[in-house]
Chain A
């Protein structure tokens, strides 16, 4: 099984095995990992709360669009999630933000992503919509390198490489640095599996 993921460079054999074990463990109660279960995992283990964003992430994890995360998708997804380098993360985020999958993040898509970001009391003479649109303008200004009012992957890549902070500028979709550490710890060194880990270590 593990041999299938040779082209996933950042993750090693032991980690793949751990992830698969985790997959099985999380699947125990159900037949397959569907959207609901996946979102539950994201929420419980990765501290994500935004359901729209979770849906988007599910969309990217579910590469074959069958509404089920199979083992391969699980491992590919999580490898980016937990161990992905910058390039892989850029790709992942861009895909998440590109809601309709047309290769561009349009102004509308941005609006969809950013509309719930502001929570302040508007003064009477302020139009909430205007304020939101302005925020979209700011985001677009940051990301749209060729000034064509939409963000291509190349735009996004250049922008993020210039300012790494822009990676998740349209909504959090990658676990936080700390969460990553905690989750890696949990997933790869589960206490229940201590014996197995020891075995693997010994065999090495």
Chain B
């Protein structure tokens, strides 16, 4: 409480101390004004008389004589009030302290006296300003330290009131407590009022701070990920080269900070190229794309400055714009922001201007400045334009063309604006004219309907459509039909017409028509909606107007005829292209109805008709099913919809339709299937319902590429499962897949086909077939000049194929090593995971390794250990293992990486209370494996020992994960070969847990554990620990193993233990003999 007063004081503390100036900023002025108002009106007698806990004093501008006649006795330079406090001190006192006249007050009443005296000199505000400058926390002074302003929740008042009731106090004290509580609540009230008031002012004047930028980046980062349905962005982070936070919170180079730059952000939307953003104190703007992987400073051509990150991203990525609307948290934030702005407008000037005066003044001030400032103002203006209009935001962001078009439309308005501009520059009545024109330009964009008066620049279609909509609104069925038919004559695929229909309120009417009983009107309306819903803005508008609900209702109508159903399904297929629409369809039971459309009644069900009519009906049914599949295809992009479809029984129906020969039918059906194949239960169903055969059949050349693509993509997703991979081979699907690789033009098809090959290559039988088909040569050929989505799959495929030793050679001969190593420098994480795998597999072959070494591939792999993505890290560490194993002079090579060993040992670090995720464990296992290889070189082992590898490994020994155990034991075994490491492992308590590993099921764990135990048993203390942990029995069993290494290690370990025991006995006997 009293927060605002403190904030006010803090604002002044510009140079660290609490005694800075209260700046002459707009928001401070508003706050002061509010505070004065509070003192004038809100302070009743009771509150005014309340005696401060400690007196408040400040250097005043008043003189003692000013106070005469206000209940004070003036004595030279001093003035003392007649009213005395309970302690006998004067309530008001003006004295000269250190040659400065200082005023001290003990109650608000007397504060008011001082202020009213100052008012007579016209210094009321400045007096208060001085007061607040000197008293950083007035509330603490007034009410006592216990109420001093703290950040965060403060329940002191509540506690205070509770205690007040409990203890026995006299009347006066009670009265005082009551007043204090009252005072505190009024301060609280003041806070709220002031905050409300200053909100608009504050938002318009605050500049970006590094903290704020960081907060936003952190927040957005949490919503990043691969899943298009869940994550708003694929990735967002600081630009890697400049991600070091400097002391002042900025990440930009100091020399760039001079220009106000704070940091550089890379955002990777799902649908577009990465966006490089520069955050400056003025706001965010987009920088040009990278050049040679380096950040290009400055502003990209034609880019504006945005006040926040989200509007910028909305503008850059239509998909982001769509997704962010579904993140309620962001929605809420934006809503709040808007509310705030509108509120202040209402409060402050009540005019029709959208912006409060504060901002207007601010801008006016800037106008008087130099050119640079004028430019800034322009940005400010654009900034503002972006904020308040929800309706327009969509327009702007979704289509840039649209903006241009609107601009054209607005031509007429320009001459009006120009004289205004001139006037503004003269600065005569700058503020007003600016406000007006800014609010006007706002309106132009926001409400295109109002442009009716300015008719000259609108295309003629606009007027005709408006007239037709009028007929729709007012006419009966007949007029409606004529209007609908006439409307269809317009080129509805043209955006002007689409938007014209929306702008003149046609969408509402068209959707209302769907609710009528007139089937003809419904059909006519849907025929138009079907066309115009291809436009993203129209889609949203239809969803907003509740069109989907109505359409789903039509599907449920038993009287609806087939034509109507077809049209509804087609329209839904168009509209349900964004998440919210899909959710609406599901929530209103649309999925079930759409699935129902897929069920084609057998031709025999029309037995009361003649043959020709029967055929016609059947054809109609097929069309209904086809459009139903199209709608489901759109809907199936949401996970919940997939499940709803399954529950509605879509799978057997889709399987039936998949047998069709009709391409128009097959494309939506396969499209739906491949969309749904992301769900395991669909994959199972696709396999068990025998759909794989049909998918393979449709891969062949005689089908259109779109169908081939969806089939390949379905196989890509389904081939995660072994049975499906086998089925694909059995039905001869591998041949057409490889054949599709020849198609280098259609990238989507190529991505799908290579993806399918990748997944199919997981089965060794398929690898053999791929060898016969010479797939490797083709895949290597695709390593150059392909988009990333293709590359990911190509490299994934090569990684799988390279598991076969023979293929590694083939890859080398096809010249695949070099492009693979080159890809290690990329940024796409999915790609990096696959590339590291592929390089790792290739490195198993000494000849390949020589090439990798020559290309400095190991260094590149090593640098990927720094990648933030856990999978990339793990996969890079795995790939390093064979490299070290097969490289000549591996030890020397590893040492040549400056800081490399420290880096890799550092990856073993686990915080004490950290719960290990699967990914963490994978990283740890891979790093252990790498360390085991590194430790083969004695010098390197010495280095990593210095880096504390022993204690880090020892700390991990309690794991239950067999994979980690295996590699951990191996690493321990190899690390024992240096200095005191063996003893050190014993001291760190690594031995007993290792013994438990022998109970694990995995024989690989046994082998490496036995090796480690053998090494550790060379130290007598360890032998005792092992023995106590019961190592002998399991080791005895392992001696009988078929695995030579295990056998040997186990035997060696037992031998060591036994030797110790013998020595011990011997010592005992030696000792006993003399006795």
Contacts and interface: CB of A to CB of B under 8 A. Distances in A.
Query: Lowest 10 CB-CB distances: which A-B pairs, in order?
Result: A120-B474, A117-B479, A138-B486, A139-B482, A117-B478, A165-B524, A117-B476, A171-B478, A117-B475, A118-B475
A120 B517 CA distance: 21
Interface stretch (A33-41, A176-184, A193-201): A176-184
Given A114-B478, A172-B478, A165 B484 contact: yes
Contacts, number: 69
A190 B126 CA distance: 96
Nearest to A138: B486
A172 B468 CA distance: 20
B481 interface: yes
A171 B486 CA distance: 16
Contact of A120 (B473, B483, B519): B473
B477 interface: yes
Nearest to A181: B559
The size class of the interface chain A forms with chain B is: 20 to 34
B812 interface: no
B647 interface: no
Contacts of A73: none
Contacts of A142: 482, 485-486, 489
Interface residues of B, number: 28
Contact of B478 (A120, A134, A141, A169): A169
Interface of A: 113-114, 116-120, 134-135, 138-139, 141-142, 163, 165-166, 168-172, 176-178, 181
A119 B474 contact: yes
Contacts of B813: none
B21 interface: no
Interface in B313-362: none
Given A118-B474, A120-B475, 16 more contacts: A114-B479, A116-B476, A117-B479, A119-B474, A134-B467, A135-B471, A135-B479, A138-B471, A138-B486, A141-B489, A142-B485, A163-B485, A165-B481, A165-B523, A176-B518, A178-B517
A163 B527 CA distance: 11
B240 to A, nearest CB: 60
Contacts of B473: 120
A118 B519 contact: no
B124 interface: no
Instruction: State the majority secondary structure of interface residues on B.
Output: helix
B470 to A, nearest CB: 7
A79 B779 CA distance: 68
Contacts of A138: 468, 471, 482-483, 486
Nearest to A113: B478
Contacts of B518: 176
A135 to B, nearest CB: 6
Interface of B: 467-468, 470-471, 473-479, 481-486, 488-489, 517-520, 523-524, 527, 559, 561
A120 to B, nearest CB: 3
A193 B877 CA distance: 87
Nearest to B527: A165
Contacts of A166: 481, 485
Most central of B482, B483, B527 by chain A CB within 10 Å:
B482
A177 B517 CA distance: 11
A170 B559 contact: no
B475 A135 contact: yes
A176 B479 CA distance: 16
24 contacts: A114-B479, A114-B482, A117-B476, A117-B478, A118-B474, A119-B474, A119-B476, A120-B473, A120-B475, A134-B467, A135-B479, A135-B482, A138-B483, A163-B485, A165-B484, A165-B523, A166-B481, A168-B478, A168-B481, A169-B478, A169-B481, A169-B482, A176-B519, A177-B561
A169 B477 CA distance: 9
B810 to A, nearest CB: 61
Contacts of A114: 478-479, 482
Contacts of B559: 177-178, 181
B475 to A, nearest CB: 5
Contacts of B468: 138
Contacts of B517: 178
Nearest to B518: A176
A107 to B, nearest CB: 14
A165 B519 contact: no
A116 B473 CA distance: 15
Contacts of A120: 470, 473-475
A141 B520 contact: no
Most central of B473, B474, B481, B561 by chain A CB within 10 Å:
B481
A171 B475 CA distance: 12
A170 B475 CA distance: 12
A169 B483 CA distance: 10
A131 to B, nearest CB: 8
Nearest to A141: B486
A135 B470 CA distance: 11
Most central of A134, A138, A170, A172 by chain B CB within 10 Å:
A138
A135 B475 CA distance: 10
A35 B653 CA distance: 53
A171 B478 CA distance: 5
A118 B483 CA distance: 12
Contacts of A141: 486, 489
Contacts of A172: 477-478
B519 A178 contact: yes
A201 to B, nearest CB: 13
A181 B520 CA distance: 16
A172 B519 CA distance: 12
A86 B519 CA distance: 17
A93 to B, nearest CB: 12
Contacts of A178: 517, 519, 559
Contacts of B477: 172
B877 to A, nearest CB: 67
B370 to A, nearest CB: 52
Nearest to A117: B479
A179 to B, nearest CB: 10
